[in-house]
Structure 1
Amino acid sequence: MVGTPELRDLPPPPPPKRSFDVAIIGAGIVGNALAVALAKQGRDVLLLERDLSEPNRIVGELLQPGGVRALRELGLEGCLDGFDAVPCLGYQVTYHGEPVHIPYAVAEDGKRPQGRSFHHGKFIQKLRAASKATKGVTIVEATVSKNLIKNAASGHIIGVRCTPKGTKQEISYFASLTFVADGCKSNIRSDFIPKQVQVKSHFFGLELIDAKMPLKNHGIVVLSDRAPVLLYQIGTHETRALVDIQGKPPSQTDGSLKAYMLGAVLPTLPEEIRPSFRKAVEDSKSIRSMPNSWLPPTMNQTPGLVLVGDSMNMRHPLTGGGMTVAFNDAVLIRDLLADVEDLNDTDLVLEKLFDFHWRRRKLTSVVNILAQALYALFAANDPNLRVLQKGCFAYFQLGGNCVDHPVGLLSGMLRNPLVLYYHFFAVAFYSIWIMYKTTSPLLWPVCFFRSFAVFYTACVVILPYIWSEQQ
């Protein structure tokens, strides 16, 4: 962990200062965005973070164009400058060695938007520096207790208990509204959200040095008979490789994981990538991993409390949509609370949170459903899913709207769930047609019956996620 003196050496607030308009637990992506946005409205904001040293994660490194746009709306676009952030222009999907180019679709201004990829920790530190520089934001390095302060009579959350770093004494801060933004491993979530986090796979991350990318400034998705591999630059000399492994992964201690990487994954990669991938595997002492989680959104109904970011809603990181959702949620919360003068007006705040839950779906339902459905197709682990995977790749090869609309949805620039549903089922029917096309006419009677199984599989893939977004 890299120390950051200008953040770690922050003086504590004066002893009498224990009351704020807003308390935010977690100075990560959404926590910093909300701190800045709400402080600019004249709110007195407390931002609590357990550890202000630079984090080191293997996900949260690719910000889609929709996230860049939201960052601009928050006045935080400058956080993408001053460090080695790399422009991202789209994707290349490689299916059993055959590539298809998927650039970001042309926007309304006639230009192709750009995403950005970077070291997660460096971006977080830029956001924290922006919070520190914003009038009205007080940053305290402290571990927050799971037991929030609650009004015994009304159940209203009125503050937090925390232990400042370097001390053993627990202190209390009070706030009209508390935001929980403590991430995917939230220790507060379980007391307020009954839904359970689902983990079906893990990303294992490697950092490749001076890798020769098949297509510069593009994310590379490698599809084979195994789960997908994602490659993208995070710096001038660094490229992130994320290898998805379903179920129980091979052991690190006996060398099985390295053997899997070199024996099963390496041969599926583009030839240009293989030397740097091999070196990264051989040089690594321990390959870091991250669970790929799914948590449907839940409406915030506890007075005085709002769960945001990964604390409330997660999706598979294959499509890189998490930060885009977080920044857009910050924009929406800022706008909805703009006309709320008194955050102690519980009825009005809950009314705004009701609006937040339903209005955010225009973007988040697209990002959430697309991430889960696309992962199911890209990680195809049964014959029917493999038919859909092959059809999906062939659909991209058609070009035009068959590429522009899906990548527009993925990028966070196109926010229309109906467009997603249309293209998903178009892929399903096109997959069935491809199955007939590549099968001998003598076997078409078999294809006829199998086509029903393929379409049923497509429905099983997407319909549960559509339903979850309506709750």
Structure 2
Amino acid sequence: MWSQPYDVLIVGAGVVGSALAHALAHAPSSARRKPLRIALLERSLAEPDRIVGELLQPGGVAALRKLGMEDCLEGIGAIPVHGYCVAKTGENVHIPYPDRLEGRSFHHGKFIMALREKAKNAPGVDVIEATVNELIECPFTKRVLGVRATRDGEKESFFADLVVVADGCFSNFRTTVMGKAAAKSATRSYFVGAVLEDARLPIPQHGTVCLVRGNGPVLLYQIEEHDTRMLVDVRAPLPSDLKGFILSNIVPQLPAALHVPIHTALEKDRLRRMPNSFLPPTEQGGYHTKEGSFLVGDAWNMRHPLTGGGMTVAFNDAVILTELLSEVRDLHDWREISGVLHTWHWRRKGLAATINILSVALYDLFGAEDESLEVLRTGCFKYFERGGNCVRGPVSLLAGIAPSPLLLARHFFAVAFYSIWVMFTHARPVPVPGREKPVHAIPRLDEYPVLAVKSVHVFWTACVVFGPLLWTEIRWW
């Protein structure tokens, strides 16, 4: 069966797919007389149940407002988020958002259903429950003409001038669209998730990052009045007994007020997991992408979910793409679309690169695996304790309101130099023979030569963490 042709087909009614469908439908255009006809295809329109995509930074709220979709945050029990709390061995550092900005946290499924309903009510948008099986290509030019999908058990073909693939981190079409140019995702750990009932966070309505010795960080944030999401970063390969691992290795290091809710949650519910993947963006359009199609969202670019920046990047992408595509005269003209994709790729860099680099760099520091990274992690914690611009700058980057990789580099290396200063001047635990607990002492002068050598290694480690991440974002291919 063939459907009538559309202007745009969007595969995947998740965060970016739903937002882009709504935005394109409402975008004014001086280049086209007729409004767009858009098909938004999704395998299942039932409410999804995921453990990530539940925290929207202030920059994401602002982008959602630009898309005319801010009311999707209403009526779903969303909780205002005013910043972060970093907890380490009984100490807490408050990292508030600047200028009284707010983010939002919520149940992922409820937010997605609100986005889909908004898209469904947009003019010219058909939201269709169908499983996309393959892309339809012209046998001669290899241009993508549409998709083949299964709807109500029947095979059906959908055609459009432009096919946008937004089918998420487990994309079935990433390689098909980009071929050899497709980047490969890297998975170093998993988030293991549970919902805690009536848990008390160290600072209410703040995302809480707990630093855990010998393991990755634990992230907690309230997603409804009585529900708090807990995400435990567990390195691959996963232990066979996840609950036992969390109870024995993770829970004792968390704030005492969380122990009972965590035990209750682990007894009542199963643990779910999601891979924490990094997928750098590769430029699309021209010869880099199969003509007539391109990727958006996690199908194309992923970052570590520790900082909760994924949806902020996605909504910002939808804002820029809508603006650029609304000025295209002919969506079938691949040369014109390639120009749009090139412009989009570099216009999004300020925000996307900042959040991408920050997410992986912070994960490397908070999940410190060697001595130099541990020095950097301690220095980062002490840097936040200084307050003032040492907090305002980094949290502005984290919040998605300061899209500047240069500002990120400045604060990252300020942390590196401050970490070296802390190593020389602050007390650290020193084991004493015959005593069970170590004593804390400032390094002696005769230890300085060894610390000087160590400081070089610490700075080199900082360069190794930051440099490759920056290169993946600024390279031209």
- Both proteins in one fold, TM over 0.5: yes
Q: Deviations over 1:21-52 (max 9, x none)?
A: 00000000000000001111321100000000
Q: How many residue pairs were aligned?
A: 444
Which residue is equivalent to 2:434?
A: none
Which residue is equivalent to 1:71?
A: 64
Asked if the contact 1:18–1:172 (Cα under 8 Å) also holds between the matched residues in 2, the reply is no
Cα distance in 1 for residues equivalent to 2:155 and 2:12? 17
Asked if the contact 1:436–1:447 (Cα under 8 Å) also holds between the matched residues in 2, the reply is yes
Alignment of 1:287-298 (within 5 A): 287-298=271-282
Letter paired with 1:454: V
Cα distance in 1 for residues equivalent to 2:123 and 2:3? 16
| 1:71 partner SS | helix
- CA positional deviation for 1:441: 2.1
Asked if the contact 2:144–2:293 (Cα under 8 Å) also holds between the matched residues in 1, the reply is yes
Cα distance in 1 for residues equivalent to 2:182 and 2:121? 37
Which residue is equivalent to 2:11?
A: 25
Compare 376-385 and 432-441 and name the one that shifted more. 432-441
Cα distance in 2 for residues equivalent to 1:76 and 1:316? 25
Alignment of 1:51-450 (within 5 A): 51-106=44-99, 112-145=100-133, 147-164=134-151, 166-167=152-153, 169-191=154-176, 192=178, 193-225=181-213, 226-251=215-240, 256-284=241-269, 286-301=270-285, 302=289, 303-438=291-426, 439-450=443-454
Cα distance in 2 for residues equivalent to 1:174 and 1:257? 46
Which residue is equivalent to 1:6?
A: none
| 1:272 partner SS | helix
- CA positional deviation for 1:17: 4.0
Asked if the contact 1:261–1:281 (Cα under 8 Å) also holds between the matched residues in 2, the reply is no
Cα distance in 2 for residues equivalent to 1:16 and 1:148? 14
Cα distance in 2 for residues equivalent to 1:437 and 1:96? 20
Cα distance in 2 for residues equivalent to 1:244 and 1:30? 25
Identity %: 51
Gaps of 5+ in 2: 28-34, 427-442
Q: Deviations over 1:119-175 (max 9, x none)?
A: 000000000100111111001111101x311123333211111111x31x3211111
RMSD of aligned C-alpha atoms? Answer: 1.1
Asked if the contact 1:64–1:324 (Cα under 8 Å) also holds between the matched residues in 2, the reply is yes
Letter paired with 1:355: T
Letter paired with 2:41: L
Compare 431-440 and 150-159 and name the one that shifted more. 150-159
The answer on 1:40 being equivalent to 2:44 is no
| 1:468 partner SS | helix
Q: Deviations over 1:60-86 (max 9, x none)?
A: 000000000000000000000012100
Asked if the contact 2:3–2:157 (Cα under 8 Å) also holds between the matched residues in 1, the reply is no
Q: Deviations over 1:325-346 (max 9, x none)?
A: 0000000000111211211121
Asked if the contact 1:70–1:327 (Cα under 8 Å) also holds between the matched residues in 2, the reply is yes
Which residue is equivalent to 2:471?
A: 467
Which residue is equivalent to 2:431?
A: none
Q: Deviations over 1:197-250 (max 9, x none)?
A: 100000000100011121110011001212100000000000000000112111
Cα distance in 2 for residues equivalent to 1:17 and 1:158? 13
Q: Deviations over 1:287-338 (max 9, x none)?
A: 1000000000011123211200000000000000000000000000001112
Which residue is equivalent to 1:5?
A: none
Cα distance in 2 for residues equivalent to 1:412 and 1:309? 16
Letter paired with 2:122: T
Cα distance in 2 for residues equivalent to 1:83 and 1:140? 23
Cα distance in 2 for residues equivalent to 1:158 and 1:468? 31
Letter paired with 2:261: S
Q: Please, what TM-score do these two structures have when normalized by structure 1?
A: 0.93
Which residue is equivalent to 1:9?
A: none
Compare 256-265 and 149-158 and name the one that shifted more. 149-158
Q: Deviations over 1:66-111 (max 9, x none)?
A: 00000000000000001210000000001222100000012xxxxx
Letter paired with 2:107: H
Asked if the contact 2:106–2:224 (Cα under 8 Å) also holds between the matched residues in 1, the reply is yes
Cα distance in 2 for residues equivalent to 1:66 and 1:371? 15
Letter paired with 1:224: V
The structure 1 segments of at least 4 consecutive aligned residues displaced by more than 3 Å after TM superposition are none
Compare 35-44 and 311-320 and name the one that shifted more. 35-44
The answer on 1:458 being equivalent to 2:444 is no
| 1:273 partner SS | helix
Letter paired with 1:258: K
Compare 455-464 and 23-32 and name the one that shifted more. 455-464
Cα distance in 2 for residues equivalent to 1:257 and 1:320? 23
| 2:128 partner SS | strand
Letter paired with 1:233: Q
Cα distance in 1 for residues equivalent to 2:396 and 2:276? 23
Cα distance in 1 for residues equivalent to 2:130 and 2:444? 67
